[in-house]
Amino acid sequence: MLFEDSHPSHVLKNKNILLGLTGSIAAYKSADLVSKLVQAGADVHVIMTESATKFITPLTLKTLSKNPVSIDLWEEESDWHPGHVELADKCDLFVIAPATANTLAQFAHGNAESLLSSVYLVNRSTVLIAPAMNGKMWDHPATVANKKTLIERGHLFIEPVDGMLACGYEGCGKLAPVDHIFKAILTQF
């Protein structure tokens, strides 16, 4: 196992990871992911969509990451530099977990409706996307086309898994296990 064979507190030392959270019930799993990344030495900065804050509080992620959590494009409190550009410029890896169908569509079509999608447009580092949504949404031709567009841009996907979904249906659309996402992040370094 990759993580067990290395020194956990140093595996991601000096790596800046930008973690985007979107409005999926799976957002609560991001607390575990942030904790694992920080324990491995990463400097984690979280960007949440407004919808994501309905599922997990920014305070939880701020406490675990030991960094401010960014939500609103219009509430940047840094100096004259646009904070969203600075976040993107400093990151070594941009991870979106969970990624909703709406976020995939925004990314694929270049819509800068939120802080997260604005940062996405200025980001030049590797993008790793872990979708989570209803199985019918995941299989919809629009989502399939958006995924194809993002793959053609060189983005990497951590496929959702089969299981019981929050909506009560069973099928593909569950966020991949946090350990799987963590290992996928490690492989980027």
Active site residue 91: no
Amino acid at 103: T
Nearest 5 degrees, angle CA 75-CA 30-CA 185?
105
Cα-flanking dihedrals φ and ψ of residue 139, to 5°?
-85, -10
Candidates 25, 85, 112, 167; catalytic one: 167
* Residue 84, phi then psi, degrees to nearest 5: -70, -30
With b for 16 or more beta-carbon neighbours within 10 A and e for fewer, the 14-28 pattern comes to: ebbbbbbbbbbbbbb
Cβ proximity of 188 and 127 under 8 Å: no
Distance of alpha carbon 31 from alpha carbon 147, whole angstroms: 25
> Distance between CA atoms of 172 and 135, rounded to whole angstroms?
5
Spell 107-118 as b/e; 16+ CB within 10 A means b: bbeeeeebbbbb
Residues designated as active site: 167
